[in-house]
Amino acid sequence: MNPQLDLVDATANQDRQFATPFAIVNQAIAQKVFPGAALAVTHRGALLALRPFGSFTYEANSPRITRETPWDLASLTKPIATASMAMLLYDRDKLSLDTKVIDLLPEFADPLDPRRQAVTVRMLLAHSSGLPAHRKLYLQATGRDAITAAAMRVPLQSAPLQRAEYSDIGFILLGELLERIAGEPLDQFCAREVFAPLKLNLSFSPQPSLATSVPPTVNDVVYRHRIIQGEVNDENASAMGGVAAHAGLFGDTLSVARFVEFILACIPSCTHSPLFLPETVHLFTTRDATPGSSRALAWDTPSAPSQSGTMFSPHSFGHLGYTGTSLWCDPERRLSVTFLTNRTWPDAANQAIKQLRPPLHDAIVRALEAE
């Protein structure tokens, strides 16, 4: 394995090559889709673009976004941290995807609902367990153990494998079972086994002195009654202490882009295998067989209409984050796009980013094809 695999800096021509995508982002800021953003494009092992845009907030004196700005990555935590932990445990024969969840988490069982006995680790990863998308567990519990215990008791909304329902609840349970298998917390495992070897500036808890370097995500007037800056936006993850399998990871744009490049370097058609076995990466990034689902294992794949636009190949994979973050990878082109924003500032009412992402990704692909 070659954990030192890295990107070649080829950003010298980014302003010319990606003039149209950059203009799309600048126009979005002018229209207040988000106050700040950062974009990275990698292609065949080269970093073609790494560009910051805008400011932390809409105020005139707000700090400017830089290349080094760390972001609340929100649900990008799932593919970057949680999937990485699951893949490494799988590669080491410590995790079987078809193990019943009740065998690892006996508290998940419910004698009044025998359907729960059929739920497997694979179903949690693929969002096909029958668990609901979300519950405001933070309103009834505080602390990691209490939130996890509350998640164990959340009723199934449908039978397992009946349909896909993107579920943070399922990932809270997934994080607990991965930690029990590994014998250590998610953040410690990922820091040692993934982030340090790959030299990524990613962590679950930014140093307090660095909190002001993170763009704020929301003025929370309902739950925490303060501006959320340098701490996780997601309320359930916040109530768990900031470390959760569904949200809580922070990092800069280049680190996310470099992580994605390591993933792309692991696809079976490539000769490198920096950290994960190529077969395992292929397994986790391939669409699950659940009817009507676009989900892979902790990843997503394009569906019509897709936030990745219309030009990414059918074998592409990626993920979105609630705060306005996204990453998409096209293994056929060996292309990745990392796009990070704080679109939830000052609140999450603005959904315009959904209309922005598809044309942005299409413009990036067109810019590559024009070269």
Q: What is the tens place of the pLDDT at every residue in 97-114?
A: 999 999 999 999 999 999
Q: Of the residues 120, 155, 187, which one is the last residue of a structural domain?
A: 187
Q: Report if residue 160 sits inside a domain.
A: yes
Q: Are 162 and 124 in contact (CB under 8 A)?
A: no
Total-model pTM: 0.96
Q: Are residues 32 and 121 in the same domain?
A: no
Q: Are residues 317 and 339 in the same domain?
A: yes
pLDDT top residue among 21 and 269: 21
Q: Are residues 52 and 157 in the same domain?
A: no
Q: Report if residue 164 sits inside a domain.
A: yes
- pLDDT reading at 246 higher than 70: yes
Q: Are residues 309 and 353 in the same domain?
A: yes
Q: Of the residues 134, 165, 187, which one is the last residue of a structural domain?
A: 187
Q: Report if residue 1 sits inside a domain.
A: no
**Nearest CA-CA partner of 233 in 149, 346, 147:** 346
Q: Are residues 279 and 348 in the same domain?
A: yes
Q: Report if residue 192 sits inside a domain.
A: no
- pLDDT reading at 37 higher than 70: yes
pLDDT at 1 (0 to 100): 40
Predicted confidence band of residue 2 (pLDDT cuts 50, 70, 90): very low
Q: Are residues 343 and 364 in the same domain?
A: yes
Q: Report if residue 127 sits inside a domain.
A: yes
pLDDT at 323 (0 to 100): 98
Q: Report if residue 332 sits inside a domain.
A: yes
pLDDT at 3 (0 to 100): 46
Q: Report if residue 196 sits inside a domain.
A: no
Q: Are residues 205 and 112 in the same domain?
A: no
In the chain, what percentage of residues exceed pLDDT 90?
92
- What contacts 24+ positions apart, CB below 8 Å, involve 113-118? 113/155, 113/156, 115/156, 115/159, 115/160, 116/156, 118/160, 118/161
From residue 73, give the alpha-carbon distance in Å to each of 217, 253, 272, 302, 339: 11, 10, 27, 20, 10
* Six token digits for residue 204: 């679950």
Q: Report if residue 252 sits inside a domain.
A: yes
Predicted confidence band of residue 271 (pLDDT cuts 50, 70, 90): low
Q: Are residues 102 and 181 in the same domain?
A: yes
Domain span including residue 31: 8-74+201-369
Q: Count the domains in the chain.
A: 2
CATH code of the domain in which 240 resides: 3.40.710.10
pLDDT at 171 (0 to 100): 98
- pLDDT reading at 356 higher than 80: yes
Q: Are residues 211 and 344 in the same domain?
A: yes
Q: Are residues 317 and 347 in the same domain?
A: yes
Q: Are residues 284 and 319 in the same domain?
A: yes
The SS3 call for residue 342 is coil
Q: Are residues 154 and 300 in the same domain?
A: no
